């Protein structure tokens, strides 16, 4: 992640907009590469060497599994710019203007709480339970991982909430590009296993 120019610290909106920041979990993406590699290797082998219904089962399993692996490992991200935060979770995307942010917190998961009382989890910013327990035991605040990211996001929310372009209500969009193929693959997998 590059360090673009920070917004002004006087509470007024920054005069120079910076590039959108992106927060992701590198470990989740590495796990996704590993899972896709194993799944494609095994599924591809079943498609090439399998006989009869084995090929159909493998094809249906790939159709159901690949979108789910992508949804839970590559898709989660948090995008932040001068106007809003876009939270992209496995099955939906939520646009939260900075003026609508009430709180950003990390407990067992990270979440944004809006002024309307809605809560949305930030899948891309995982909470380290080990660091959380250490902070509780020592009575301190450990600014690593989720806490440092949330600190940056809180600062952006405070500084940019006054911008006219940062006003509005959160908007939610379901990720049908992930849901549809996973659902079709799941139905096909159940049907092919039943016919086996």
Tokens describing residue 121? 């989890």
Please write the tens of the pLDDT for every residue from 88-144.
999 999 999 999 999 998 877 889 999 999 999 999 998 877 776 776 676 655 545
Contact partners, residue 56, CB within 8 Å, separation at least 6: 188, 192
What is the value of pTM for the model shown?
0.79
Per-residue pLDDT band for 35 (boundaries 50, 70, 90) equals very high
Q: What's the pLDDT score for residue 1?
A: 36
pLDDT digits (tens, 9 = 90+) for 54-75: 999 999 999 999 999 999 999 9
Q: Where in the chain are the domains?
A: 25-75+175-196, 77-173
What is the Cα–Cα distance from 20 to 144, expressed in whole angstroms?
A: 21
Task: Please tell me the predicted confidence (pLDDT) of residue 137.
Answer: 72
Would you state the pLDDT for residue 11? 42
Confidence at 145, pLDDT banded by 50, 70, 90: low
Mean pLDDT of 178-182: 96
Q: What is the pLDDT of residue 144?
A: 57
The DSSP-derived string for 55-82 is HHHHHHHHHHHHHHHHHHHTS-EEEE-S
What pLDDT does residue 135 have? 65
Adjacency order of strands within the sheet including 21-23: 21-23, 77-80, 84-88, 92-97, 171-174
pLDDT of residue 12: 43
């Amino acid at each position: 992640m590059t360090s673009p120019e920070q917004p002004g610290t006087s509470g007024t909106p920054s005069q120079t907009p910076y590039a959108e920041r992106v927060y992701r979990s590198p470990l989740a993406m590495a796990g996704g590469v590993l899972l896709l590699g194993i799944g494609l290797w095994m599924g591809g082998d079943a498609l090439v060497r399998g006989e009869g219904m084995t090929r159909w089962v493998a094809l249906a399993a790939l159709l159901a599994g690949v979108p789910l692996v992508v949804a839970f490992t590559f898709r989660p991200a948090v995008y932040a710019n001068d106007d809003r935060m876009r939270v992209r979770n496995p099955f939906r995307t939520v646009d939260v203007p900075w003026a609508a942010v009430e709180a950003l917190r990390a407990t067992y998961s990270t979440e944004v709480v809006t002024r309307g009382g809605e809560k949305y989890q930030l899948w891309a910013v995982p909470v380290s339970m080990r660091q959380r327990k250490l902070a509780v035991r020592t009575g301190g605040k450990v600014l690593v991982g989720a806490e440092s990211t949330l600190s940056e996001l809180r600062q952006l929310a405070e500084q940019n909430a006054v911008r006219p372009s940062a006003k509005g209500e959160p908007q939610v969009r379901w990720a049908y590009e992930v849901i549809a193929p996973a659902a079709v693959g799941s139905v096909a997998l159940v049907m092919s296993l039943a016919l086996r």
